[in-house]
């Protein structure tokens, strides 16, 4: 049995077929375009070593870092962003821009590329059937969102209530965070002249938003998804009005972060900076690694940086922060930076001779992640496999460029069902039942999405997969330093499927996805028996084995700098994102989530960065008022 394509088939160079002559060498540094114009009138592209401090130094120019940087610069502060990678327009041609090309990046299937990805090889364990797996993250302006899928799903009301309860701060409930979700995005209704009648999304027309990122339904729908609508209807799954209302149960077309005008991926880079009004002083240091946070006692004062611009000698300098250092490196690199800077479990720091700034046991612990696995059939409807044919690919490129439609405006996974495992498949042990009963009632067990993507299947037809992403995420792992140097990769120990709850829910999920394919509503389009995991896997134990040999990570590291109450010894940040016990250092990325909420992390990451940056600005205003008050006296 196999989830992955047999290696003798993979030897067909499908990726290069796809790219053909279209993108000659996608991962070299292209010298166009000039991006200086998108920063501020007083900003520099590749600024020289700074002599003056900035008000804020943001570490990481990814999803959350650019939100923090843009909001701070809009509030008239001077801001430096330190980003290890380059601009994706220069690094990857149009691979990050055209939604349909996401598949070519498909992480975890194609090997990671050093130029645009941070990656870490994870050792095999019994829960992976001893497979090594690569874990990855973006290394570009725009961060992981520059090559990930980009579905937009909110968590649930109950999950956010749990968040508020866990951290002891009611500002984290869904109603209270809603304004921060809304100020990150605006919604464009679907274009019903370009989508088929049987692909009409149901949505709440009052849903608007007032922020920079555009959220919409792609102007072309996947044929497979129109069949899934019928299958989930036949199984009695109700419809939900998109997944952005605080309720997740039901089936729906999936919202994406897409620019509806030109069809390209909308990211925090394009929406908050490139296509937004220029900021007065926003400097972006690309190809620059923040090696260490500088402290004066327990107060952060700036970061030490190593810059390696292409074709330039290496430079080392310090960027000082007058107000705060803002961490936005993501769930792996933010805790690593704190550890190498002396903030973490004292024993770990001693092991690497790192002088202790603050003994903080929770740093790098409590890592949450989502996993994903599939059930695949051959189908007799068009999937992205048709793009393996050169004429068809050119036709869709023209449709994209001329009319912003065709298969390339759609990233692929565009219809989903979010469910609990049905009662007759709940062969769960007592401990698992108890664990599941403790989740908020509206916290779903499983997301299923259609995945009609063909580039890693043989070029002999069309293949469609249902991908299952368990939402329980009870297994927690950690990261470990392998040296005191930020440039060395840490070891990641995700401990996927070590929770019995995650394991049993995952096996039951495979059974449920089989049931979807076996529904008569899909029989017309199936052109084979089940290919993966394969009809040989029948019993619970065989399915468990197939699961362990087939799943991969969704690359959603979170909660490694978990937010919590002041009296919680393992919590790292307070409910405003400050590292407890330090001054002037704040976390705006999902490492400070208290847990990984149900849904997918992008939408809550946007909300989180907006909300914590609002805290930063308000705290600074208070300090300012306080200062003024004193001089007035």
Ligand X SMILES: Cc1cc2nc3c(=O)[nH]c(=O)nc-3n(C[C@H](O)[C@H](O)[C@H](O)COP(=O)(O)OP(=O)(O)OC[C@H]3O[C@@H](n4cnc5c(N)ncnc54)[C@H](O)[C@@H]3O)c2cc1C
- List binders of ligand NAG among 78-97 (CB under 6 A): 93-94
Contact between 605 and ligand X (CB under 6 A)? yes
The one among 16, 390, 403, 618 contacting ligand NAG by CB under 6 A: 403
Question: In the 8-state DSSP scheme, what is residue 527?
Answer: -
Q: Which does 26 bind (CB under 5 to 8 A by kind): ligand NAG, ligand X, none?
A: none
Sheet holding 185-188, edge to edge: 185-188, 213-216, 256-257
Q: 144 contacts which partner out of ligand NAG, ligand X, none, CB within 5 to 8 A by kind?
A: ligand X
* Residue choice 71, 145, 368, 478 for contact with ligand X (CB under 6 A): 145
Find the shortest distance in angstroms from Cβ 417 to ligand NAG: 22
Closest C-alpha to 453, from 70, 120, 109 = 109
If the CB atoms of residues 78 and 549 are measured against ligand NAG, the closer one turns out to be: 549
Residue labelled with tokens 């993507």 = 453
Q: Looking at 327-335, 379-387, 506-514, 527-535, which segment touches ligand X (CB under 6 A)?
A: 327-335
148 or 385: CB nearest ligand X: 148
- Find which of ligand NAG, ligand X, none residue 266 binds, CB within 5 to 8 Å per kind: ligand NAG
| Residue 326, H or E segment | strand 315-327
Q: How far apart are CA 633 and CA 630, in angstroms?
A: 5
399: contact with ligand NAG by CB under 6 A: yes
Nearer to ligand NAG, 176 or 194 (CB): 194
Least separation in angstroms between CB 303 and ligand X: 8
Q: CB within 8 A of 25, min separation 6: which ones?
A: none
- Three-state secondary structure call for residue 306: strand
C-alpha 396/C-alpha 367 separation (Å) is: 41
Q: Residue 137 pairs with which residues in a beta bridge?
A: 118
Q: Determine contact, residues 346/329, Cβ cutoff 8 Å.
A: no
Nearer to ligand NAG, 271 or 439 (CB): 271
How far is CA 89 from its chain centroid?
19
d(CA 586, CA 583): 8
Q: How far is the CB of 453 from ligand X (least distance, A)?
A: 13
Neighbour-count burial for 211-229, b at 16+ CB within 10 Å, e otherwise: bbbbbbbbbbbbbbbbbbb
The answer to whether 609 and 589 have CB atoms below 8 angstroms apart is yes
Q: How far is the CB of 120 from ligand X (least distance, A)?
A: 11
Pick from 11, 25, 48, 193 the residue near ligand NAG by CB under 6 A: 193
Q: Which is nearer to ligand NAG, 76 or 403 (CB)?
A: 403
Catalytic residue among 396, 556, 626, 629: 556
Contact assessment for residue 337 and residue 491, using Cβ atoms and an 8 Å cutoff: no
**With CB under 6 A as the contact rule, which of the stretches 35-43, 143-151, 205-213, 243-251 interacts with ligand X?**
143-151
> Burial, 84: exposed, middle or buried (Cβ in 10 Å; 0-12, 13-18, 19+)?
buried
Binding test (CB under 6 A) with ligand X, winner from 90, 92, 96, 107:
107
CA 559/CA 576 separation, integer angstroms: 15
Residue 383 binding ligand NAG, by CB under 6 A: no
Alpha-carbon 16 to chain mean position? 26
62 belongs to the binding site for ligand X (CB under 6 A): yes
For the record, the structure tokens of 628 come out as: 């003024």
Among residues 191, 299, 308, 498, the one that binds ligand NAG under rule CB under 6 A: 191
Q: Is 144 in the site for ligand X (CB under 6 A)?
A: yes
CB of 334 to ligand X, least distance (A): 7
d(CA 160, CA 172): 6
Q: Does the protein bind ligand X through residue 185 (CB under 6 A)?
A: no
- Told to judge if 626 belongs to the known catalytic residues of this protein, a careful annotator would answer no
Residue from 19, 164, 325, 337 binding ligand X (CB under 6 A): 337
Q: What DSSP line would sit under 229-254, residue for residue? A: HHHHHHTTPPB-STT-SS---EEEEP
85 is a site residue for ligand X (CB under 6 A)? yes
What distance, in Å, lies between the first and last C-alpha atoms of the chain?
Answer: 78
Is residue 98 part of the contact set for ligand NAG (CB under 6 A)? yes
Which residues does the annotation mark as catalytic?
556
Residues that bind ligand NAG (CB under 6 A): 22-23, 93-94, 98, 111-112, 119, 121, 132-134, 191, 193-194, 212, 214, 259, 261-262, 266, 270-271, 275, 397-403, 408, 427, 429, 504, 540-541
């Amino acid at each position: 049995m196999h989830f992955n394509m047999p290696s003798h088939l993979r030897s067909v160079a499908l990726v290069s077929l796809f790219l053909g002559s279209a993108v000659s060498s996608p991962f070299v540094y292209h010298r166009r375009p000039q991006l200086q114009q998108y920063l501020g009138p007083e900003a520099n592209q590749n600024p020289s070593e700074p002599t003056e401090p900035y008000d804020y130094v943001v570490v990481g120019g990814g999803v959350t870092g650019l939100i923090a940087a843009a909001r701070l610069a809009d509030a008239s502060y001077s801001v430096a962003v330190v980003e290890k990678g380059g601009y994706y327009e220069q690094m990857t041609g149009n691979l990050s821009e055209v939604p349909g090309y996401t598949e070519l990046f498909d992480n975890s299937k194609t090997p990671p590329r050093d130029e645009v990805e941070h990656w870490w090889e994870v050792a095999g364990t019994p829960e992976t059937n001893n497979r090594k797996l690569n874990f990855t993250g973006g290394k570009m302006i725009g961060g992981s969102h520059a090559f990930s899928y980009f579905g937009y799903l909110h968590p649930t009301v109950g999950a956010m209530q749990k968040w508020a309860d866990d951290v002891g701060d009611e500002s984290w409930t869904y109603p209270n965070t809603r304004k921060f979700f809304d100020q990150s995005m605006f919604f464009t209704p679907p274009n019903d002249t370009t989508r088929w009648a049987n692909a009409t999304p149901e949505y709440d027309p009052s849903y608007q938003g007032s922020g920079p990122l555009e959220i919409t339904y792609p102007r072309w729908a996947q044929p497979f998804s129109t069949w899934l609508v019928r299958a989930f209807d036949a199984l009695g799954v109700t419809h939900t009005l998109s997944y952005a209302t605080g309720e997740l149960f039901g089936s729906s077309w999936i919202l994406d972060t897409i620019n509806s005008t030109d069809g390209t991926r909308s990211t925090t880079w394009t929406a908050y900076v490139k296509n937004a009004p220029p900021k007065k002083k926003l400097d972006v240091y690309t190809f620059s690694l923040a090696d260490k946070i500088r402290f004066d006692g327990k107060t952060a004062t700036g970061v030490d940086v190593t810059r390696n611009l292409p074709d330039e000698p290496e430079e080392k300098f310090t960027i000082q922060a007058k107000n705060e250092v803002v961490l936005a490196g993501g769930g792996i690199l933010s805790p690593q930076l704190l550890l190498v800077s002396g903030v973490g479990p004292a024993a770990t720091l001693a092991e690497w001779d790192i002088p202790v700034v603050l003994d903080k046991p929770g740093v790098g612990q409590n890592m949450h992640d989502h996993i994903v696995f599939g059930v695949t059939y051959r189908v007799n409807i068009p999937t992205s496999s048709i793009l393996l044919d050169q004429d068809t690919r050119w036709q869709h490129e023209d449709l994209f460029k001329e009319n912003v439609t065709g298969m390339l405006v759609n990233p692929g996974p565009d219809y989903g069902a979010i469910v609990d495992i049905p009662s007759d498949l709940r062969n769960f042990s007592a401990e698992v039942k108890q664990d599941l009963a403790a989740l908020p009632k509206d916290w779903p067990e499983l997301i299923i999405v259609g995945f009609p993507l063909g580039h890693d299947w043989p070029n002999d037809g069309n293949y469609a997969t249902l991908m299952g992403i368990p939402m329980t995420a009870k297994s927690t792992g950690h990261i470990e330093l392998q040296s005191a140097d930020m440039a060395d990769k840490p070891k990641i120990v995700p401990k996927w499927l070590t929770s019995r709850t995650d394991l049993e829910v995952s096996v039951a999920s495979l059974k449920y996805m089989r049931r979807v394919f076996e529904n008569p509503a899909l029989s017309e389009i199936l052109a084979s028996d089940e290919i993966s995991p394969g009809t040989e896997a029948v019993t619970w134990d065989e399915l468990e084995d197939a699961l362990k040999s087939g799943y991969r990570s969704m690359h959603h590291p979170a909660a490694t700098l978990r937010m919590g109450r002041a009296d919680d010894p393992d919590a790292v940040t307070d409910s405003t994102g400050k590292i407890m016990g330090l001054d002037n250092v704040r976390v705006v990325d999902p490492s400070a989530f208290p847990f990984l909420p149900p849904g997918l992390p992008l939408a809550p990451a946007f909300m989180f960065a907006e909300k914590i940056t609002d805290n930063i600005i308000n705290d600074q205003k208070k300090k300012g008022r306080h200062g003024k008050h004193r001089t007035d006296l």
